[in-house]
Amino acid sequence: MKAYIFPGQGAQFSGMGKDLYETSELAQSMFEKANQILGFRITDIMFEGTIEALKETKVTQPAVFLHSVILAKILDNFHPEMVAGHSLGEFSALVANGTLSFEDGLRLVSKRALAMQKACEIKPSTMAAVLGLADEIVEQVCATIDGVVVAANYNCPGQLVISGETTAVEKACEAMKEAGAKRALLLPVGGAFHSPMMEPAREELAAAIEATTFSTPICPVYQNVTATAVSDPNEIKKNLITQLTAPVKWTQSVRQMVQDGATLFTEVGPGKVLTGLVNKIDKEVATANI
C-alpha cells in the first residue's frame, strides 16, 4: 500500500516552491490564492527571501504547508491509500486526503502559527533533542524534574524530543546525560511545542477548527495523537485540537501503518527528514521523496 507522509516545521529552505511556480499553472494559481488569503506575498519570501525570513513564525508554517500541498496537487497518479504528517504536516495530509480544502487548510495553518507564537511569549520555554535513550527512560526522567517538561516528539527509536519550561528542560538535559543519553541538546526553537505550554494556542485554534468544514477523507489519516487510522471527520477534528498540547507519536504511527499494510512511504514536500526517520523505524519498507 502507498503511504504519503508530509513534513513539518523546520523543513523550509530558501527558494522553496519557485520551480513549482515557474513550471505549473495550477501551482501558480494556488500560490497566488495563498498570497490573497494570508494578506502578504508569501511567495516573495519563499522564492527570494533569506532563511532568516523563512523562520518567522507567520511565514514558516504556511510556507512548508504550501510547498507540500501544491506538490501533492500537481503530482501525476496521486492516489494515497493512507497519509500522515509530522506535527504541522498533519494539516498538509488532511488536504491531501480531502478532509480539508486547500483554502481552509491554509487558514487554519496561519491561525495555528500565530496562536503558537502568542503562547510562546507568555513564559520562557524550549525543546531539546535526546539521543540514545529508550523512550521509557526519557519519560521517567521527565517525571522526576520539577516544572513542566514532557516527551513531545517520538521521532524514531533512540531519538526523542522533550518540551517545556526552559529551566525544566535544561535540568532534564543534564539528567538525561546522567541516565546514559549520548546527547541531550537544546533546539533553536521559539517555544515548547506539543506540551502543556501550548494550552493558550490550543484554545484559540479549537474555535477555528470547530468552525471549519471537515469532509470524509478518501483514505485514513494516521494522526499524531492516536497513531491510528482515522477517517471520521469529528474524530479528526478532536485529535487535531489535542495535537498542540500532546506528543507527536511518529514512531508509533509508522509502525501502525506498516502493520496495516504500508509498503512504500513517499515524503511529499521539502527535505528528506521523515523518510530518514521511517528507515530507522523499519528498515524493511521502501521510501521515496518528491
Sign of the four-CA dihedral 34, 36, 39, 41: positive
Asked if residues 91 and 109 have their Cβ atoms less than 8 Å apart, the reply is yes
87: annotated active-site residue: yes
Q: How many CB atoms lie within 10 A of CB 26?
A: 11
275-287 pLDDT per residue, tens: 999 999 999 999 9
Instruction: Report the chain's C-alpha Rg in angstroms.
Output: 18
pLDDT digits (tens, 9 = 90+) for 193-234: 999 999 999 999 999 999 999 999 999 999 999 999 999 999
Question: Model confidence at 248, in pLDDT bands (50, 70, 90)?
Answer: very high
Q: Catalytic residue among 67, 86, 87, 92, which?
A: 87
pLDDT in tens, 37-59: 999 999 999 999 998 899 888 89
Give the pLDDT confidence score for residue 93 in this predicted structure.
Answer: 98
Q: What is the mean pLDDT of residues 107-114?
A: 96
Residue 189 vs residues 12, 90, 166, 171: alpha-carbon distances, Å: 14, 19, 11, 17
pTM (2 decimals)? 0.96
Among the options 68, 110, 194, 253, which is catalytic? 194
pLDDT of residue 279: 97
For residue 187, give the amino acid letter. Answer: L
Residue 14 designated active-site: no
Residue ranges of E strands in 7-136: 82-85, 125-131
Average pLDDT over all residues of the chain: 96
Q: Given this model, what pLDDT does residue 56 score? A: 85
**CA 277, 59, 89, 248 torsion: positive or negative?**
positive
- The pLDDT assigned to 73 comes to 95
Phi and psi torsions of 148, nearest 5°: -90, 115
Q: Is there a contact between 159 and 276 (Cβ–Cβ < 8 Å)?
A: no
**Which residues have C-beta within 8 Å of that of residue 82, sequence separation ≥ 6?**
1, 2, 3, 4, 219, 220, 221, 222, 229, 257, 260, 262
**pLDDT confidence of 10, banded at 50, 70, 90?**
confident
| Cβ atoms of 125 and 164 closer than 8 Å | yes
Backbone phi and psi for residue 170, each to the nearest 5 degrees, phi listed first:
-65, -45
CB atoms within 10 A of CB 49: 19
